[in-house]
Amino acid sequence: MSTGKTERHVGKPVDRVDGRLKVTGQAKYAAEYPLDRLAFGALVQSTVSKGKIKNIDSSAAEKLPGVVCVITYKNAGKIPPKPLSDFDDSLHLLQDNVIYHDRQTIGVVVADTFETATHAASLVKVDYDEVAPNVVMDKNLAKARFAGNKKESTTKRGNFDNAQQAAVFKVQRTYSTPQEIHSPMEPHATTAYWDNGKLVVYESTQAIFNTRNKLAKAFGVSPADVRVITNFVGGGFGTKLMTWSGCILAALAAKQSKRPVRLALTRANLYGNTGHRPQTVQTLSLCADKDAKLLGIRHDCVSSTCTFNDFVEDGTEASVMLYRCPNVVTSAKVVPLDLGKPIWMRAPGHCPGTYALECAMDELSYEAKIDPLKLRQINYADKDESNGLPWSSKSLDKCYDKGAELFRWHERNPVPGSMKKGNRLVGWGMSSTTHPTFRMKASAKLNMNSDGSVSIRCGTQDIGTGTYTIMTQIAADTLGLPLEKVAFHLGDTEMPEAPMSGGSMTAATAGSAIHAVCEAAVNKLAAQAGADKQSPLMGAKLDDIEAVRGGLYLKSKPETGESYSAILARSGSGSSFEVSASAAPQDEAEKHSKHSFGAHFAEVEVDPELGTIRVTRFVSAVSAGRILNPKTAGSQVKGGIIYGIGMALTEELIHDEKTGRTLNADLAEYHIPVHADIPNIETIFIDEEDNIVNPIGVKGIGEIAVIGVAAAVANAVYHATGKRIRDLPITLDKIM
């Protein structure tokens, strides 16, 4: 169905439609909804990392004026109320006295004010039987095993050993990445209340329906009796994909206290309780022939996990498909440690894995005495060799060319330590980036008003990426309406169902549903007008009509047609016009490999006397299908680059080796980049027409931006100093 050639909004840098609400404070987040008789919760967290609670004394807290209740394993009740095999066993829901990690939740205090709850929580006394924890991965690598105690978890093609013997150039290196924490601007928060046996929750989540289902299981009620509302999320980065203990305990506290309860986690509460990126130790072996063509790749990744639930950070996924290579073998193992559960963090697996792969490629370029960019171009993959499928589209070659041109890569002196600016050493590094494009089923509902304006609902989430805006753009273009005539609503489980906002798939998933429901509306109205003797479109076929200028008009006679309001007025439907639609992946798309691609170029300056490193310039060229909004997409890419600079230079969760306690559980000591750390970032989008990947031709962009950034920075540091740091973050003590 054509949407006409006028009033196009997709592809333009449209301002955020929710921007005014945010800057004026009218956008409500999970901890901002006013409710009568609202009580406030505060967590009690363990002060040991392993063992059991001998006794927990909450009497002093309970006597404090204003305290409503104190919930511990002694009075929490059974959650879930009956055995459920698929309930998440990694949640700590005050069901026993076992301590698995530092800062584990062991109680919730509910009081009339947040201050009272916080003070009361400090009065809860706990005696422990403490056991020495294992928290150091390097000392436990011998315990590495396949997840779930499987016998293997590998991929293999060709014969790597034979390739290694035939190779002219070889590198084998070990790279490590630390634990990192998500650090969203808005910490996890829940506001919950019960109403005649039904639960309503305002939650900061990336997955409202997953949260609804988990709450229903926890309390033994139907999902229809649980409503989750998430209008705005102040960042998630993966940590809010999972329903953590705090959400369920807030609902439990509301049930026990018979009052609405707000449990807003403090920044310190996040450390240990809401996931982190696990530590990895990765060994990369690359071998190439005399022309620097890859003959073999071996990538073995070991990641940390917790002792009570396996989580695998498989860093090998890019190694099997990013470059043309006939012989590839990979493996992914885990090491259980006495730490909180690791979880997805922006570009899980791909982020640490591509760091190792792209650093190894850089090292191979020096072994073969070839430019790092040229090495990647020589080994360009024309198809996905991991599965033999053709790409739905791929413009990585253009990313290399355009990124290198803007960065002026041709001016690079290849000799490490040869480029200087005053007394500072200058280094240039680059890397490739890729991320698969995912899509799931989503549904939407459209209501058209008598004036032709529309209200569209879809139960997706806007986690700060601009979902409100791009969905409005898609709807406006499909219907031929101005933006101000479209009201897009999300974030409520009473709306048509959509999946989580993760895996960089919201634009493709929810966007396809919005496109589908708008097309369904156009088709229904076109059929209505075509059968109406009073309509100028009487007898017109669907293919003859296009949606433009707030109505339907003939393609061959653009002046012939009528407005939506006129069609509705004669039909008698008035403001009751409604249509629903769903969109799901099609078989044709599964016959292709669907990925976003890109190239990063970084410049660093290193003070040789102080060892300080500054990223002074960064260029990123990205091909991610159709770019719906270059302004919001550009923000996504820049945010990912900043994330990657933090990974390269500053971020690391540190635990005391003896006690297992987290030593930097705040933003004063866990260092994320600030404005002064970030250079001018230039982004280029290589627009692609991809009619296979989904109906609107978009690919994910939220995660590809961070992938490979740390490698580009690390490669630039080597080029500046001649020192290869393979253990992130690259701090000045490692340079000195």
- Domains of the chain by residue range: 39-131+182-270, 135-174+280-388, 390-435+593-736, 440-584
Which residues are tagged catalytic? 703
Q: What is the pLDDT of residue 575?
A: 62
Residue 193 has pLDDT above 70, yes or no: yes
Residue 378 has pLDDT above 80, yes or no: yes
When mean pLDDT is compared across 81-95, 229-243, 567-581, the lowest value belongs to 81-95
Q: Which two tokens stand for residue 347?
A: 């570009």
Q: What is the pLDDT of residue 85?
A: 60
**Which CATH code is given to the segment(s) 135-174+280-388?**
3.30.365.10
Mean pLDDT estimate for the chain:
96
**Which CATH code is given to the segment(s) 440-584?**
3.30.365.10
Give the whole-angstrom CA distance, residue 405 versus residue 682.
Answer: 12
> 3-state class of 644 per DSSP?
helix
Same fold, 39-131+182-270 and 135-174+280-388: yes
State which CATH number among 1.10.230.10, 3.40.50.2300, 3.30.365.10, 3.40.50.300 fits the domain covering 390-435+593-736.
3.30.365.10
What is the average per-residue pLDDT within 548-562?
Answer: 97
Give the whole-angstrom CA distance, residue 90 versus residue 94.
Answer: 12
Give the whole-angstrom CA distance, residue 601 versus residue 365.
Answer: 16
Q: 189-207: b or e for each residue (b if 16 or more CB lie within 10 Å)?
A: bbbbbbeeeebbbbbbbbb
CA torsion through residues 10, 14, 20, 26, sign: positive
When mean pLDDT is compared across 148-162, 245-259, 486-500, the lowest value belongs to 148-162
Q: What is the pLDDT of residue 395?
A: 98
Query: Which residues, including other chains, have CB under 8 Å from residue 690's CB and lie 6 or more apart?
Result: 392, 393, 625, 626, 697, 699
Residue range 655-697, pLDDT digits in tens: 999 999 999 999 999 999 999 999 999 999 998 999 999 999 9
CB atoms within 10 A of CB 408: 13
Give the whole-angstrom CA distance, residue 41 versus residue 118.
Answer: 8
Q: What is the pLDDT of residue 728?
A: 98
Class of domain 39-131+182-270: alpha beta
Q: What is the pLDDT of residue 152?
A: 74
pLDDT band of 1, cuts 50, 70, 90:
very low
Radius of gyration of the chain (CA): 27
Q: 255-290: b or e for each residue (b if 16 or more CB lie within 10 Å)?
A: bbbebbbbbbbeebbbbbbbbbbbbbbbbbbbbbee
The residue with tokens 């939650």 is: 203
Name the burial class of residue 611, with classes exposed (0-12), middle (13-18) and buried (19+) by CB atoms within 10 angstroms of its CB. Answer: middle
Amino acid at 7: E
What is the average per-residue pLDDT within 145-150?
Answer: 82
Bridge-based pairing state of the strands 169-177 and 419-421: unpaired
Sheet of strand 98-99, all strands in order from the earlier edge strand to the far edge: 98-99, 51-57, 125-130
